[in-house]
Structure 1
Amino acid sequence: MVCSVTKDGFILSSAPNFRDLGGHRTESGRTVRPGLLFRSDALHSVSEEDLPAYNGLGIRQLIDLRTGHEREHLPDIVPEGAEYTVVGVQDPEKAGANFSRTLTDPEAARAMFGDGGAARFMDGVYRDLVHDTEALAGYRDLVERAAKGPTALVFHCSAGKDRTGWGAALILGLLGVERSVIVEDYLESNARQANTDKWMRLLSEHSGLAWEDVVPMTRVRAEYLQTAFEEADAVYGSFDTYVSDGLGVSGATLEALRERMLA
């Protein structure tokens, strides 16, 4: 499947972090097949202009990694013929799943995110994405659906950079893509945050925080992803053991994923 891009260089200009994970080379010399696996920011924003392209991608499975509050507030536009599935990867009671609500309370926002707190907050978010019970179940589900469910598949959160970013890093790692390439793919989200910046600036204004205090939550940093990989090593001993013992992904599932996704 060939993915056309809009005049501004995006597959969907109204969902700028929607992109194909295909095309990456693995360490063994194979290539991730294009047109089977997409990652994205929130899909409530798909415009009428982008609908023909969106519906034409052949997406048969949409996986929503957002919390219930996010889904209810901004429900997805589901492509024609696609299954819609909710896969939670965050404990809905934890701060990482509710930071936008915190930003509506100036006092709480200053206490949590002021004076460099936002970067420390992100560090905690990425650690939780590796070892929290909800995250372990959710990312296992994502891998199994990518391996065995209908394709093409798209998975997303709100900004498409953190929950989705770890999901993409996980799958690319399982496919054998080099760590440096995984980081490059992860960092590409920084050029695709126009939609996120709009609502984060509004939240910043309501919180009374300076934009500079909020910026660490609006961008990805290589050290955030490194924190997640280091957490996998610290808790489970290695990335491979995180996958087998933490996520509980079987060898048969890994084989099916690679057979499907690699050329």
Structure 2
Amino acid sequence: MINDALTLATVPNFRDLGGYPAETGRVRSGLLFRADTLSDIGDSDLAELQRIGVRQVIDLRTAFERESAADRVPAGAEYTVLDVQREHATGGDLASLLADPERAGTELADGGAERFMHAVYRALAGTGDAADAYRGLVERAAYGPLPLVFHCFAGKDRTGWGAVLLLSLLGVGSDAVIADYLASNDRLEAAAARLGGLAESMGLDPALVAPLMDVRVDYLHSAFDEVERSYGGFAGYLADGLGVDAATVAALRERLLEPAE
């Protein structure tokens, strides 16, 4: 069910969100793409993005990530920063945590890595910075130039929640939404192995950091639980958390859905 019509060797978590059946049609292919970082995209893959006419790139990463590894953007495409974690350090603190092996060993032990990831997901659904960024993502998908690529570093958590949000607003069923979210696990095996090797070189047990590279349904449930706790459900999250109105949802569906066959 995952749309692999276009894959990029140097952006392994890149994929088209088109093709999924929705309540009132099917998500159009070739317009909405999710990805991991574009900082290391190869020349031929960058040419592919230019060939398909990508007109908008949305970067969900922190200032530190952007400054240390700037995106390579297709010629003519708009580049927009929507920093999900601007003033919230939970996810952005990962780099500094791994730079201190002693601290990492202490904080990631005894289920610490899982607790860290659950905190990340609660923040994705519950902080004002994240709400501002995801509102911008929805509005740019509804009104901005297409095709659009949105991404973070690994393309699994910040990008994953963005994909959950967009697909849900388009009326895609929960089974397909979760399947798309979980597809990151297979695509990031090489990155997970590199992280494990880095941990081992630092004297850490690779098993300690493994949960940081996973996507898990229970992580996603932490975001859903935060939505329920803070807003009383998805409708409240949409209206009161993100401030996305019915007209924007209608515009999103008008341009990104086609009639089902």
Q: Does 1:52 align with 2:67?
A: no
Identity of aligned residues (%): 50
Look up the SS of the partner of 2:26 in the other structure: coil
Q: Which runs of 5+ in 1 are unaligned?
A: none
Query: Per-residue CA shift, 1:172-200, capped at 9, x if unaligned?
Result: 00011111110000000011114533552
Aligned partner letter, 1:107: E
Cα root mean square deviation, aligned:
1.6
Residue 93 of structure 1 and its aligned partner are, at CA, apart by 4.8
Q: Does 1:98 align with 2:93?
A: yes
Out of 109-118 and 157-166, give the one that drifted further: 109-118
Equivalent-residue separation in structure 2 for 1:200 and 1:67 (angstroms): 20
Contact 1:114–1:209 (CA<8 Å) still a contact in 2?
no
Post-superposition Cα deviations, 1:115-164, rounded to whole Å, max 9, x if no partner, equal 21101110000000001110011100110001000000000000000000
Q: CA deviation at 1:112?
A: 1.7
1:22 equivalenced with 2:51 (yes/no) = no
Any conservation in 1 of the 2:58–2:79 contact (CA below 8 Å)? yes
Structure 2: distance between partners of 1:203 and 1:149? 39
Q: Counterpart in 1 of 2:9?
A: 13
Equivalences for residues 155-234 of structure 1 within 5 A: 155-194=150-189, 196-197=191-192, 199-205=194-200, 207-234=202-229
Cα–Cα, structure 1 residues 167 and 4, in superposed 2: closer, same or farther, change >3 Å? closer
Q: For residues 44-83 of structure 1, what are the alpha-carbon distances to aligned partners after superposition, in whole Å with 9 as ceiling and x for unaligned?
A: 1211232321211211000000001111111111011100
In the alignment of these two chains, the number of paired residues is: 256
Quote how far apart the aligned CAs of 1:94 are.
1.3
Corresponding residue for residue 110 of structure 2: 115
Shift of residue 223, structure 1, vs aligned partner: 1.0
- Contact kept, 8 Å, 1:65 with 1:89, in 2: the verdict is yes
- Asked if the contact 1:127–1:231 (Cα under 8 Å) also holds between the matched residues in 2, the reply is yes
Counterpart contact for 1:148–1:256, Cα < 8 Å: yes
TM-score by length of 2: 0.93
